Amino acid sequence: MVNAHDLLWGMTPAHLPADAPAWVLEAIGAGHPVVVRRAIAEPGHVAVGVRGRLREQRFAAQMPLPAVQRRVAPEALRGVISPRDLPALRTLDQLRAVLAQESWGVTGSAGFELATGIEALHAQSDLDLILRTPLRLERGDAQDLLAILDTAECAVDLQLQTPFGAVALREWANGSRRVLLKTVSGAHLVVDPWQAVA
C-alpha cells in the first residue's frame, strides 16, 4: 500500500514516457527515488513525481507497482538527524518534541534529503510536514498548533491528512467556511475535510 508523499525506489528510464526531459532521465538513471503524488494512475501503477535539482524541475509520471524495490514513508524520516545546519533542519529538531504524541512525518525537500542524503535544502527552504488526522482536528486545536509552528525559524507547511485527502493546516485554522481538499481525483472546496467528497 503506497500513500501520497511516500518515496519509492526502483523506477528505471524504461518506465518513463519517450518525451521525458534529459534531467528526468538523469535523476532516474542515478537511482533517485520518486515521490507518490495524488492522482489516478493506470491499474497496476502508481502516480509519481520525479524531482530535479532545480525547484521548477518536477515531472509527473507513473511507476509500475511491481517495480517498487523500497518504500520510505514520511513517518520513517522524523527521527533522521542530518549533519547539515540549516533553518529547516533546526526547525525539525525543535518540532520533534511538539509533535511527539502525533502521527506525523517529513515530506518535500527535507524528506527527500533525509531519505537519500542528496542535498535538496537551502537556507530559504520551507519545512514540509504531514500530520495524519484520521479523526477530525478541531479548529481551535488547529489554531493552537499553527501558533506554535509560526514561532519556528523557517516557514512550516503542514498538511493534515484526513481519510479523504489533505488540507493545509493554515487554511483549516484560519476559519474559512470552505477549504481546499487535495484528493486523488483533484482538489475540491469542502466544508468538512473529514467527510467523503460527494
Would you place residue 59 in the very low, low, confident or very high pLDDT band (cuts 50, 70, 90)? very high
pLDDT, residue 55, reads 80
Q: Is the pLDDT of residue 198 over 80?
A: no
d(CA 168, CA 180): 8
Q: Are 158 and 168 in contact (CB under 8 A)?
A: yes
Name the pLDDT band for 60 (thresholds 50, 70, 90).
very high
Active-site residue (options: 126, 144, 150, 157): 126
Q: Which of 6, 85, 128, 157 is catalytic?
A: 128
Give the CATH number of domain 7-72; options: 2.50.20, 1.10.20, 2.30.110, 2.30.30: 2.30.30
Segments making up each domain of the chain, as ranges: 7-72, 74-190
Active site residue 93: no
- The residue among 60, 25, 10, 35 whose CA lies nearest residue 112 is 35
The pLDDT value recorded for residue 48 is 97
pTM of the model: 0.93
- 157 is an active site residue: no
Does residue 20 register a pLDDT over 80?
A: yes
> Which of the four pLDDT bands, split at 50, 70 and 90, describes residue 1?
confident
Digit-coded pLDDT (tens) for 145-185:
999 999 999 999 999 999 999 999 999 999 889 999 999 99
Give bridge partners of residue 104 from the DSSP assignment: 131
List the one residue out of 26, 40, 30 whose CA is nearest residue 9: 30
Do β-strands 156-162 and 127-132 pair in parallel, antiparallel, or remain unpaired?
Answer: parallel
Alpha carbon 111 to its chain's center:
8
Look at residue 176 in the predicted model and tell me its pLDDT: 87
Q: How far from 129 is each of 20, 23, 161, CA to CA, in Å?
A: 29, 26, 10
What's the pLDDT tens digit per position in 107-127? 999 999 999 999 999 999 999
